Amino acid sequence: MKKILIICTGNSCRSQMAEGWMKYFFKNEAEVYSGGVEKHGVNPTAVKVMAEVGVDISSNTSDLVYDFLGIDFDFVLTVCENAKENCPVFPNRAQKVHKSFEDPAKAKGTEEEILDKFRHIRDEIKKFCVDFSTNNLE
């Protein structure tokens, strides 16, 4: 079974959404984890927009990437520039993959405008996860 770690700055939005999508697409073919170089808590708006598409991340926890250093991952994915620059080195065979997404938690505007930004990022992350799962399932 493949092991995948997804990393962003605070393990709040982008990595949480990516973890939800990866679990959805990989089903029982991978163990998927997410962590941050900091711990900001799971963003309730990320939970809300994922629930809109039937992916439940409400029981996810916000974890530090350092908690996973002992696991032999197949893939370590960074989903923001800060994580790419500050990610610890995983001394194993893990393939590193980077795709940066805008941080929806920084969205400004009305509640609907902020929701639209989260939905847009959710959908970008979904596309990335579809492509990743298509190319990496054996």
87 is catalytic: yes
8 is catalytic: yes
- Residue 81: both structure tokens together: 């520039």
What is the distance between the alpha carbons of residues 96 and 86, in angstroms, rounded to a whole number?
13
Catalytic residue among 6, 7, 8, 83: 8
Query: Which residues, other chains included, contact 110 with Cβ-Cβ below 8 Å and sequence gap of 6+?
Result: none
Catalytic residue among 42, 47, 55, 87: 87
Catalytic residue among 22, 37, 79, 80: 80
What is the distance between the alpha carbons of residues 62 and 43, in angstroms, rounded to a whole number?
9
What is the distance between the alpha carbons of residues 89 and 95, in angstroms, rounded to a whole number?
12
80 is catalytic: yes
Just list the catalytic residues: 8, 80, 87
